[in-house]
Amino acid sequence: MGKRFDIRAIFRYMMEEGYYPRYEKTYILFDIEDNTAVVEYEEDIISIRIFFSIDEDAYDLFLEASNAAMLESFMVKPAILDDMKNIMFSYEMCCDTVRDLKKFFPRGIRRLKEAMKLHKAEMKKLIIAENVSSATITAAEDTFISASKAVKPLS
């Protein structure tokens, strides 16, 4: 019988590969591009999840960008959490050997990075569109107000 595969085996692999993980009792923490990621392992499934806060003023944009990222990404699913203040990107993989881990873990990290990049680009696009839209509305209002002042009332 081979070595037992568990959360400690995942932690050892991550240490060897330079992920600089921090071991907790039931999960592992490490950083992915300025975000803290959580690795969990249960019933032969490894989950890598990244959480970050939603700007309350841009909630609708986050939701729209998350939907776009979900439709475009492969294997990574963003989800807005119940508190509506946080978003999670999640990647799950079946894995029960270190050999599988070495093969699939780096792909999971790559896919998470791609999905976050896609989400960020979509947010940027939506913010620009919203700013252009509000600037157009403001310009239209200013034009209407200026035109209204130029018109003399009938006497």
Q: What is the pLDDT of residues 38-51, one digit of tens each?
A: 999 998 999 999 98
Mean pLDDT of 129-155: 53
Q: What is the DSSP letter of 49?
A: E
Q: Tell me the two tokens of residue 7.
A: 């959360």
This model's pTM is above 0.85: no
The listed range with the strongest mean pLDDT (67-71, 136-140, 148-152) is: 67-71
Distance CA 39, CA 9 (A): 12
pLDDT at 141 over 60: no
Residue 136 has pLDDT above 60, yes or no: no
3-state secondary structure of 47: strand
Sheet architecture: strand order including 45-53: 22-23, 28-32, 35-42, 45-53, 86-94, 76-80
The CATH code belonging to domain 7-146 is: 3.30.1460.10
What pLDDT does 133 receive? 67
